[in-house]
Structure 1
Amino acid sequence: MTTATISVDEFQALEQKVLRAVEIVKREREARAKAEAEVTSLREQLEFQTLVATEAQTAVTTLTKDRDAVRLRVEKMLQQMDDLL
């Protein structure tokens, strides 16, 4: 039976590596949580902006139809005035 012996220096070096690894994992988890929160926020913003764009497009379509209707009415009135002359 053989027993492995580790010197104090080797053990401390291993301990330091483990502590660094733990810190790296902790930072990566924090960064991931922050990135996920940012993605959620950006998705919400995109959804809102899509809604705003859709509403704006609807408003533009309505205004365009109204403008065309007014133009036709004005053209009709102008034609009637021409007919009177």
Structure 2
Amino acid sequence: MSTATVSVDEFQALEQKVLRAVEIIKQEREARAKAETEIGNLREQLEFQTLVAQESQAAVNTLSKDRENVRQRVEKMLQQMDELV
């Protein structure tokens, strides 16, 4: 029958490795939580920027239509002035 014996130094080395592994896992969990929070914030910012872009595009479309209407009215006035001359 063979009995495995572990020296104190080997046990301490193993204990240090386990403690280091636990510390690494803690750090990784904290980093993951931070990344998830940041992702949530970035998603909110993206949604806001998308809304702003949509509103801006709608404003540009409205201004373009208004510009076209004004252009047509000016052309009509110029045409009427030409007829007077």
Quote the sequence identity (%): 79
TM-score, normalising length from structure 2? 0.96
Q: Which runs of 4+ in 1 moved over 2 A?
A: none
Q: Does 1:83 align with 2:77?
A: no
Query: What displacement does 1:5 show?
Result: 1.3
Query: What displacement does 1:4 show?
Result: 1.4
**Where do 5+ consecutive residues of structure 1 fail to align?**
none
For 1:2 and 1:63, the matched residues in 2 are separated by 90
**Where do 5+ consecutive residues of structure 2 fail to align?**
none
Equivalence for 1:20: 20
Total equivalences in the alignment: 85
Query: What displacement does 1:3 show?
Result: 2.3
For 1:56 and 1:40, the matched residues in 2 are separated by 24
RMSD: 0.7
TM-score, normalising length from structure 1? 0.96
Q: Deviations over 1:16-51 (max 9, x none)?
A: 000000000000001111111111111111111000
For 1:46 and 1:78, the matched residues in 2 are separated by 47
One-letter code aligned to 2:62: T
Equivalence for 1:62: 62
